[in-house]
Amino acid sequence: MELPTGGTAWLVTRMADAQAVLSDPRFSNNSARDGYPVLQPGQALSADERTPIFVEMDEPEHTTYRRMLIPEFTVRRAKEMRPEIQGQAEELVDQMLANGSSADLVQTYSLALPSLVICGLLGVPYEDRDFFQSRVSAAVSLASSPADFEAAFADIVEYIGKLVAEKMDNPTDDVIGRLVTGPMADGKLDHERLSSIGALLLAGGHESTANMISLGIAHLITAPELRETLRQQPERYPDVVEELLRYHSIADVNVTRVALADVEVGGRLIRAGEGVAVSLGSADHDESVFAEPAGFDIDRRNKRHIAFGHGYHQCLGMSLARVELEIAYRTIFDKIPNLRLDVPLEELPFKYNGMLFGLHALPVSW
């Protein structure tokens, strides 16, 4: 494939090959390495110019930090948060209803709900959402220059850094607060690294989930038979969530690696120093794995998609995201069963210029 920033890389499209690449330590996720496939302008900066990002670390360094975070993002923890998330979703919908008979769901619901959740979880003031949402948007836009990308992420890191300093003086019972009083106090984590990890959690904790909420709602609005099934069988919402994740796979080719050695994948030799882009969307539509993959089927027996990635870099917050999506979809349609699009589906402003697919706006009425 031709890279948007110049050069070429291998494109991996089959499920087995994607899983092989993403679970093989001979493929590095460190974008500072020579040959790394640069999809986004900001990745073109040298290692000395860029803020270190936890998600781009290789083993064993990556697992060292990941283990500090795993207790905060377990299935059990996500389940415990259900009542709070349900209350937040209901309050947001009630506010929409009180404000009239139409709204842009991206701003009033899709972005607001995961922002509330991640702010509460991390210990970030929700009133600062306009600032960090604007910086995250710049960081994931393919239109951003290298300088814009780095400035956007650096702003978030600086913001989290100030919160870390505050929590050092006044400990709080939240993820960042517990990292301050735990690993950081024990010398296992320094201020700079914690700020970077916190920035990544803040960015990833709302942007991807917000995109899936918008796409899922738009999808369900245009599927009345499926909505009727869900009205009669609300216990099927988890199945809908899994199929929406597979069907849309919003990260798509946002997963890149560089070979550290000569490796054969799918019968092709990828040489050391050559870049690889893994298409999660293509893998999740692999006809050898999913029957009629272009169709939307909540009765699929095989639900093992890789929308959250695969291997040791698999999304840390996937259990929380699943809970948020299920609650977001069910709550909006329970409270507003006559929800409808204000424009035809094909005319919605889809995000074709970002690292994550989604919607810039979702105008609806009821």
Instruction: Render pLDDT for 11-23 as a digit per residue (tens, 0 to 9).
Output: 999 999 999 999 9
Residue 122's alpha-carbon distances to 63, 178, 199, 237, in angstroms, are: 20, 9, 10, 27
265 SS3 class: strand
Is the residue at 224 inside a domain?
yes
Structure confidence at residue 146 (pLDDT): 72
Contact 245, 281 (CB under 8 A): no
Residue 305 sits in a domain whose CATH number is 1.10.630.10
Structure confidence at residue 46 (pLDDT): 45
Nearest to 246 by CA among 320, 322, 316, 317: 322
Structure confidence at residue 60 (pLDDT): 87
Structure confidence at residue 95 (pLDDT): 97
Report how many domains make up the chain.
Answer: 1
Specify the amino acid at residue 348.
Answer: L
- Quote the domain boundaries for residue 308: 10-122+206-365
Is the residue at 170 inside a domain?
no
Specify the amino acid at residue 64.
Answer: T
Is the residue at 187 inside a domain?
no
Structure confidence at residue 357 (pLDDT): 92
Structure confidence at residue 140 (pLDDT): 73
Q: How far apart are CA 1 and CA 12, in angstroms?
A: 10
Q: How far apart are CA 136 and CA 293, in angstroms?
A: 32
pLDDT, one tens digit per residue, over 205-249 is 888 999 999 999 999 999 999 999 999 999 999 999 999 999 999
Sequence-separated contacts (24+) of 107-112 with Cβ below 8 Å? 107/361, 109/213, 109/328, 109/332, 110/210, 110/211, 110/213, 110/214, 110/217, 110/328, 110/359, 110/362, 111/206, 111/210
Is the residue at 49 inside a domain?
yes
In eight-state DSSP terms, residue 276 is E
Q: How far apart are CA 117 and CA 73, in angstroms?
A: 12
User: Which element (helix H / strand E) includes 255?
Assistant: strand 255-259
> Which regions of the chain are under pLDDT 70?
41-53, 142
Sheet containing 255-259: order of strands: 10-12, 275-278, 255-259, 27-28
Pull the structure tokens for residue 113.
């709900």
Q: How far apart are CA 72 and CA 305, in angstroms?
A: 23
pTM value? 0.93
